[in-house]
Amino acid sequence: MTEVVAALIWEGERFLACQRPAHKARGLLWEFVGGKVEPGETREEALRRECWEELGVTLKVGDPFMEVVHTYPDLTIRLTLFHAEILEGEPQKLEHHDIRWVTVREMDQLAFCPADEEILARLRTYDRKAELGKNS
């Protein structure tokens, strides 16, 4: 099983969605920024590295939002989506075909990777304001 990490980065009521490059597996589908955990890395270290490489941003990694196991025809992944915050930098398209800030209502207009479907279902019922109030 391949360990994969991704970031749920919010800007107000919108979160960051990234469109995979056309030449990669699941090309042009949307996803949360992230990637594979390399040997010797913690999941948090991998997420910070991936966000630096793919977006040019420095990230503060928070608690996991959720974990999903998904089997694609070519691999099985364990995807951990972390709450995250950009500490430095503006997201740039260093690797992705496109990047967008989208609301939960707008996310259904984008074709996300199959592994993200369970995450999107949880986001539809997620009360971010209640979560923010709990953490203040």
Q: Which of 74, 78, 83, 90 is nearest to 8 (CA)?
A: 83
**CA–CA separation, 64 and 125 (whole Å):** 17
Q: How many Cβ atoms are within 10 Å of 132's Cβ, its own excluded?
A: 10
In tens digits, the chain (136 residues) has pLDDT values of 999 999 999 999 999 999 999 988 888 999 999 999 999 999 999 999 999 999 999 999 999 999 999 999 989 999 999 999 999 999 999 999 999 999 999 999 999 999 999 999 999 998 766 565 555 4
- Extract the tokens encoding 115: 């592994």
Alpha helices in 1-136, H assignment, sequence order? 43-55, 117-124, 128-134
Q: Which of 14, 23, 34, 18 is nearest to 112 (CA)?
A: 18
